[in-house]
Amino acid sequence: MRIRRRDDWDDDWDDDDEIVVKKKAPKSEILTTRRILWGIAVLVVAVVLFGKVVSRDQYQFEKSPAELIGMWTCGDPDRSDLWVEFSPQFVTVATGGTGTIKFRILGVQFDQVGEAAHYTMFLRDLAGKEHSREVVLSPPGNTLRFTDEPRVTWERFDK
């Protein structure tokens, strides 16, 4: 790069312009801005992936337990058009009439509470939103209750 400047050191009548040539500093080929930014991006992605793997819940079951598989109908006469069906990978809930909602089972946690079996099911709907439902199965295995509606009983349809 060439820069012209006036020689200001002496005030003689013969002031001539001189050409000053500045040399560029040698490029460091090891640490460039682009490489630093790529390194930071790779590090951020690695930290996020590691965090997802570490924080992922480990479920006792990945499928619906065998005790729950089948169709369950509501014992309440006001809710006679409701039913729940547990399959190994899905839970289908009838919302009345012909409406149904299907959930994929992400995992199931099991706890024994007295004589009843208590299941916490982690589900994902078709929109990708995650839900959890808690289910209590009575000792004989024919009556089911959801903990958010403890007064409503569900009975196995296919006895």
Confidence of residue 51 (pLDDT cuts 50, 70, 90): confident
Mean pLDDT on 145-159: 85
Q: In percent, how much of the chain has pLDDT > 70? A: 77
Q: Tell whether 100 is covered by a domain.
A: yes
Let me know whether 82 and 26 are in one domain: no
Let me know whether 46 and 107 are in one domain: no
Let me know whether 114 and 76 are in one domain: yes
Confidence of residue 42 (pLDDT cuts 50, 70, 90): very high
- Classify residue 97 as left (phi > 0), alpha (psi -120 to 50) or beta: left
Q: Tell whether 64 is covered by a domain.
A: no
Q: Tell whether 65 is covered by a domain.
A: no
Of the ranges 38-47, 112-121, 138-147, the best mean pLDDT one: 38-47
Q: Where are the alpha helices (DSSP H) in the chain?
A: 33-55
Let me know whether 85 and 137 are in one domain: yes
Note the pLDDT of residue 141.
78
Of 157, 147, 96, the closest CA to residue 121 belongs to 147
Beta strand 143-146 pairing with 116-125 = unpaired
Let me know whether 46 and 88 are in one domain: no
Q: Tell whether 61 is covered by a domain.
A: no
What would you report as the CA-atom Rg of the chain, rounded to the nearest whole angstrom? 35
Record the pTM. 0.60
Determine the structural domain holding residue 82 and report its residue range: 70-156
pLDDT in tens, 1-22: 555 555 555 555 555 555 666 6
Number of domains in the chain: 2
